[in-house]
């Protein structure tokens, strides 16, 4: 029996998911969890697929433990937990694939060098993604590893969507729109194709609304435009990120107010968005329960910005057939969905409030000219599917009938 592991490694945390592979070659979630507070006092927790706690572990004096040390412990626990299942591949979320990578890649020394060279484009994430890849290469040198890029889904966007209005030399240096949340959008595109193939073949906006938030315009399941750009700071208002703002503001902060580049970075990534506008919290649920006028103002701005950015993407798409909500806020927050849909009512988005309060997927009235749906995303499963796909290619195993297109349900 086989298993695959999906890893999402950040600066102070590693999220993981273990999937067993059934007879049809489909991944089934066996356990998932995270290691947090790496570099301070690491804490590991794991849960079964139905949410039962399997493990909690603290390293109170573990400030010196590296990603590699903790991954060694995690793998030891995982092989116990997986019992007689053999781990055949590890898939990693890698934030940046640059201009080269349009699909997941099997890791080798040359790929690691190329991904290393992309660190300046995503200094907050890429080095930590690579740390996990290097740690596993050392721990299990024979285990195939697959890098799955957040940018890859947007790789083939039309040229006009990827160029900033800067002198050409900057574009050639790689200063352009890449887009992110690609694993989530890839999963949504495939799920929508299973749920409603006709809509999936049309013009769709997927709204990934979590702590990080973005929109993706998809035509026939392919990205044609997206709100995040050169970095994950662009586009929508987010939990603690500003999203798009007049670049003149950045100049003013530095040149008139004397803020350093590091202070501006901290302000735009960590202190803005819902947190900055409300002055209370970056968490949408907390704000909805607050009742404070500043919380309401932050929620309203979030929804207005989402609708306004959607307007831009609708122009890129030349119209709209469906909007799909996903991620923490998109999947769970009926009021935010309703506010965004109502702002798009002029387009023909006719929300059905009863359905919106229910279990979905469809939340518009049956004859709404534009459909709205809620589809839970699953980036870990998407990574596992890519890892499994690569493992099958390496071993020459024939894909089961239907192949990767039908692995999601």
> What's the CA angle centered on 360, arms 355 and 365, to 5 degrees?
40
Reduced to 3 states (helix: H, G, I; strand: E, B; else coil), residue 72 is helix
Considering the candidates 150, 196, 225, 389, report the single residue annotated as catalytic: 150
State the minimum distance, in angstroms, from the CB of residue 211 to ligand ADP: 4
Q: What distance in Å separates the CA atoms of residue 358 and residue 137, rounded to the nearest whole number?
A: 45
Which residue, 104 or 212, is less far from ligand ADP as judged by CB?
Answer: 212
Determine which helix (DSSP H) or strand (DSSP E) holds 165, and give its type and residue range.
Answer: none
Packing angle of the helix pair 247-255, 261-270 (nearest 10 deg): 140
Q: What distance in Å separates the CA atoms of residue 107 and residue 105, rounded to the nearest whole number?
A: 6
Cβ-contact 273, 210 below 8 angstroms: no
Kindly state the DSSP code that residue 362 receives in the 8-state scheme: B
Cβ-contact 2, 85 below 8 angstroms: yes
State the minimum distance, in angstroms, from the CB of residue 328 to ligand ADP: 2
Spatial neighbors of 239 by CB under 8 A, at least 6 apart, are: 210, 211, 212, 213, 273, 274, 275, 282, 283, 284
> What's the CA angle centered on 112, arms 107 and 117, to 5 degrees?
145
Which residue, 211 or 316, is less far from ligand ADP as judged by CB?
Answer: 211
Cβ-contact 151, 182 below 8 angstroms: yes
Q: Is the peptide bond before 361 cis (omega within 30 degrees of 0)?
A: yes
State the minimum distance, in angstroms, from the CB of residue 183 to ligand ADP: 12
Which residue, 126 or 184, is less far from ligand ADP as judged by CB?
Answer: 184
Q: What distance in Å separates the CA atoms of residue 390 and residue 367, rounded to the nearest whole number?
A: 42
Tokens of 152: 């890859």
Which residue, 201 or 332, is less far from ligand ADP as judged by CB?
Answer: 332
Which residue, 179 or 210, is less far from ligand ADP as judged by CB?
Answer: 210
Cβ-contact 367, 388 below 8 angstroms: no
Q: Verify whether residue 150 is a known catalytic residue.
A: yes
State the minimum distance, in angstroms, from the CB of residue 90 to ligand ADP: 21
Tokens of 135: 């740690």
Kindly state the DSSP code that residue 32 receives in the 8-state scheme: E
Which residue, 327 or 391, is less far from ligand ADP as judged by CB?
Answer: 327
Positions touching ligand ADP (CB under 6 A) are 210-212, 239, 283-285, 327-329, 332-333
State the minimum distance, in angstroms, from the CB of residue 189 to ligand ADP: 18
State the minimum distance, in angstroms, from the CB of residue 15 to ligand ADP: 9
Closest chain position to ligand ADP (CB): 328
State the minimum distance, in angstroms, from the CB of residue 295 to ligand ADP: 12
Q: What distance in Å separates the CA atoms of residue 381 and residue 288, rounded to the nearest whole number?
A: 30
Q: What distance in Å separates the CA atoms of residue 242 and residue 270, rounded to the nearest whole number?
A: 9
Which residue, 358 or 403, is less far from ligand ADP as judged by CB?
Answer: 358
State the minimum distance, in angstroms, from the CB of residue 336 to ligand ADP: 8
Which residue, 211 or 254, is less far from ligand ADP as judged by CB?
Answer: 211
In our burial notation (b when 16+ CB lie closer than 10 A, e otherwise), range 376-398 reads: ebbbbbbbbbbbbbbbbeeeeee
Active site residues: 150
């Amino acid at each position: 029996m086989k298993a695959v592991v999906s890893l999402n490694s950040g600066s102070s945390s590693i999220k993981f998911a273990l999937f067993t592979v059934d007879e049809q070659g489909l991944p089934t979630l066996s356990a998932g969890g995270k290691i947090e507070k790496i570099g301070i006092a690491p804490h590991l927790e794991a849960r079964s697929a139905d949410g039962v706690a399997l493990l909690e572990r603290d390293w109170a004096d573990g400030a010196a433990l590296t990603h590699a040390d903790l991954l060694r412990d995690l793998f030891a626990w995982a092989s116990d937990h997986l019992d007689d299942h053999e781990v055949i591949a590890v898939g990693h979320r890698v934030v940046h694939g640059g201009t080269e990578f349009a699909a997941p890649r099997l890791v080798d020394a040359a790929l690691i060098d190329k991904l290393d060279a992309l660190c300046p484009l995503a200094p907050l994430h890429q080095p930590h993604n690579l740390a996990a890849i290097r740690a596993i290469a050392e721990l299990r040198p024979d285990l195939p590893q697959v890098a799955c890029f957040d940018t890859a889904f947007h790789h083939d966007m039309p040229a006009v969507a990827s160029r900033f209005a800067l002198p050409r030399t900057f574009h050639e240096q790689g200063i352009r729109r890449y887009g992110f949340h690609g694993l989530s959008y890839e999963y949504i595109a495939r799920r929508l194709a299973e749920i409603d193939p006709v809509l999936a073949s049309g013009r769709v906006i997927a709204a990934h609304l979590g702590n990080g938030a973005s929109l993706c315009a998809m035509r026939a399941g392919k990205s044609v435009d997206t709100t995040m750009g050169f970095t994950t700071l662009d586009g929508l208002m987010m939990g603690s990120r500003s999203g798009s703002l007049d670049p003149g503001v950045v100049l003013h902060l530095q040149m008139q107010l004397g803020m350093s580049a590091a202070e501006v970075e901290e302000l735009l990534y960590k202190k803005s968005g819902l947190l900055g506008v409300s002055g209370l919290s970056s968490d949408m649920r907390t704000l909805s329960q607050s009742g404070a006028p500043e919380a309401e103002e932050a929620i309203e701005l979030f929804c207005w910005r989402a609708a306004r950015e959607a307007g831009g993407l609708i122009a890129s798409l030349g119209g709209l057939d469906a909007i799909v909500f996903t991620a923490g806020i998109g999947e769970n927050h009926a009021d935010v969905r309703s506010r965004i849909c109502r702002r798009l009512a002029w387009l023909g988005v006719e929300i059905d409030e009863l359905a919106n309060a229910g279990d979905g997927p469809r939340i518009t009235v049956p004859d709404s000219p534009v459909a709205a749906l809620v589809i839970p995303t699953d980036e870990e499963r998407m990574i596992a599917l890519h890892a499994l796909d690569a493992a099958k290619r390496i071993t020459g195993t024939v894909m089961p009938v239907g192949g990767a297109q039908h692995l999601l349900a």
